Chains A and B, each alone.
With several copies, the nearest count.
Chain A
Amino acid sequence: MINIQKIKQDFPILSQKIYGKELVYLDNGATTQKPIQVIEKLKSFYSEINSNIHRGVHYLSNKSTEEYENARKTVKEFINAKSTKEIIFTKGTTEAINLVAFSFGETFINEGDEILVSQTEHHSNIVPWQMMCKRKGAKLVVIPAKANGELDLEKYKLLLNSRTKLVAVAHVSNSLGIINSVKEIIDEAHKVGAKVLIDGAQAIQHLKIDVQNLNCDFYTFSGHKIYAETGIGVLFGKEETLNQLSPYQGGGDMIKTVSFEKTEYADLPFKFEAGTANYVGAVSIAEAIKYLNNIGLQEIENHEKELIDYATEKLLEIEGLKIIGTSKHKTSAISFVLEGIHHYDAGLILDKLGIAVRTGTHCAEPTMKHFGITGTIRASFAIYNTKEDIDKLVLGINKVKLMFG
């Protein structure tokens, strides 16, 4: 059995007091906290190993390079990619999506082509496509959501056609916590020859990911949401597809040879990693994955399922509280509104009680529009959260209701 109290002790920040109160951190969708194992790894890496990678023939450089490439292997195994060539380190999900939007756009998109994104995406999975479509004269088409926040797959199928070149959908929507039916979305897209990018920023830390089983063409996530550093993320892409794409950024390390007349690009994965890679960030992802594997992904999923079920039950008992996104397929995040109370007001008071939640649009304005609201209060969970955290949230909400009643 998973021992949450012990896990909690691995996260130094969780013993912080906020305004003299114990911190109840329920903003894990925005970023997760880091276990001491990851923090200590940063320290030991910078104190014992650090040197630029791929660049020197000296001992430390080789050692750094080895740790970096091992991190790539760890990620490859974690998501079951076929080859380390399919693992590109980026600075985060947002950059990964921008990379695909640009490079796929340059290579494959012509005027009149269509890109599909869903109504419930994070801005990072909307704006890059808008920008690319504008540049290329392509069309951004929206997969509508149903009243409960699930994507309308029937309508989705009708939208697919021979002009559809790429479908970009979140595995788990950040504002609602809903797990989208990505397998079906991918299979349907492939029938018309479209590629699929899955934004896994809110999935990788909660669900076991198998990119071969999903059969997605691209999968993206951020280190900072999976207990690792900020400034690092991953783009998985099928080798064959990545090979076809033109590079995104130019610079050191992504070239074979450079001359003013002709520059040849390096092979995968380096072709997409221009400049000094954030090798320490990559190592921190590997360390975080090791930490999660030690606990066990199934254990984590079970624990987080228990949390969301408990939270849903307890929150629904509160009068005037309405959950936004009532699909049954959810993980680790609940969005809700309080009748007659603005989410900002609620968030401010909860904060004073030491409870960190996120309020607002969650970088998902079109989702808010879909529900006809200006924002929600979102409680999002991670491995170190407990039922007591949820009890405190419930108490906090009741206090909020009292103050604004």
Chain B
Amino acid sequence: MTIEEVQNQIIEEFEIFEDWMDKYEYIIELGNNLEPYDDKNKTTSNLIQGCQSRVWLNAEMKDGKIIFSADSDAIITKGIIALLIRVVNNRTPEEVMNADFSFIEKIGLRENLSPTRANGLVSMIKNMKAYGLAFYSKEK
């Protein structure tokens, strides 16, 4: 599936929720089920300091694809991280670099990406793309 297809899939999944409660309960579930993050990767350089919640992001190359893993101390942030990873994980640097994340807005979570830097997600997206660019440049 392309990035766009995954995003559309997520948008469809979210269409069934009748109210914000259901939606957030699902995000909390996603957060709770996020793949465990290796504690040895909780380094300062992997840390994204939001004002409110902290995010750790790690990226590795495997067979020409980027493998992301991430964590946060807040569950809702983790839930959204799970969605982001689902979209760009195991993809080529070029794909990651050019990814758009417009689905976040479409599923009504835009307030979580406000420029307040509160949860670190805006920076996380930036960093994901930066990884894409970095690995892409290295390959050349």
Q: Are A54 and B52 in contact (CB under 8 A)?
A: no
Q: Are A344 and B114 in contact (CB under 8 A)?
A: no
Which of A54, A348, A359, A361 has the most chain B CB atoms inside 10 A of its CB? A348
Q: Are A360 and B24 in contact (CB under 8 A)?
A: no
Tell me how far the C-beta of B79 lies from the nearest C-beta in chain A, rounded to whole angstroms.
Answer: 10
Tell me how far the C-beta of A237 lies from the nearest C-beta in chain B, rounded to whole angstroms.
Answer: 20
Q: Are A344 and B25 in contact (CB under 8 A)?
A: no
Cβ proximity bits A266-307 to B, threshold 8 Å, 1 near / 0 not: 000000000000000000000000000000000000000000
A374-B73 CB under 8 A given contacts A257-B49, A343-B52 = yes
Smallest Cβ-Cβ distance to A270: which chain B residue: B117
Q: Are B115 and A360 in contact (CB under 8 A)?
A: no
Tell me how far the C-beta of A298 lies from the nearest C-beta in chain B, rounded to whole angstroms.
Answer: 33
Q: Are B20 and A352 in contact (CB under 8 A)?
A: yes
Binds B, one of A61-69, A164-172, A187-195: A61-69
Q: Are A256 and B49 in contact (CB under 8 A)?
A: yes
User: Complex formed: what's the CA distance from A66 to B111 in Å?
Assistant: 10
User: Complex formed: what's the CA distance from A404 to B21 in Å?
Assistant: 12
Contacts of B75 in A (CB 8 A): 342, 345, 404
Q: Are A359 and B28 in contact (CB under 8 A)?
A: no
User: Complex formed: what's the CA distance from A256 to B48 in Å?
Assistant: 11
Q: Are B76 and A344 in contact (CB under 8 A)?
A: yes
A233 close to B (CB within 8 Å) = no
Smallest Cβ-Cβ distance to A347: which chain B residue: B52
A1 close to B (CB within 8 Å) = no
Q: Which of A65, A360, A375, A404 contacts B114 (CB 8 A)?
A: A65
A360-B74 CB under 8 A given contacts A352-B20, A352-B24 = no
Contacts of B21 in A (CB 8 A): 352, 403
Q: Which of B24, B28, B54, B114 contacts A66 (CB 8 A)?
A: B114
Q: Are B114 and A342 in contact (CB under 8 A)?
A: no
B53 close to A (CB within 8 Å) = yes
B16 close to A (CB within 8 Å) = no
Q: Which of A59, A345, A349, A360 contacts B51 (CB 8 A)?
A: A360
Q: Are B52 and A62 in contact (CB under 8 A)?
A: no
Q: Are A57 and B28 in contact (CB under 8 A)?
A: no
A260 close to B (CB within 8 Å) = no
Q: Are B116 and A65 in contact (CB under 8 A)?
A: yes
Tell me how far the C-beta of B124 lies from the nearest C-beta in chain A, rounded to whole angstroms.
Answer: 14
Q: Which of B52, B73, B111, B114 contacts A359 (CB 8 A)?
A: B52
Which of A342, A352, A403 has the most chain B CB atoms inside 10 A of its CB? A342
Q: Are B118 and A57 in contact (CB under 8 A)?
A: yes
Among all A-B residue pairs, the 4 with the closest Cβ atoms: A342-B74, A344-B52, A344-B74, A344-B53
Chain A residues at the B interface, C-beta cutoff of 8 Å: 19, 53-55, 57, 59, 61-62, 65-66, 69, 256-257, 342-345, 347-349, 352, 359-361, 374-375, 403-404
Q: List 28 A-B contacts (CB under 8 A).
A: A53-B116, A54-B117, A57-B52, A57-B116, A57-B118, A62-B111, A62-B116, A65-B115, A69-B115, A256-B49, A342-B73, A342-B74, A342-B75, A344-B76, A345-B74, A345-B76, A345-B77, A348-B24, A348-B76, A349-B24, A360-B51, A361-B51, A374-B54, A375-B52, A403-B21, A403-B24, A403-B25, A404-B28
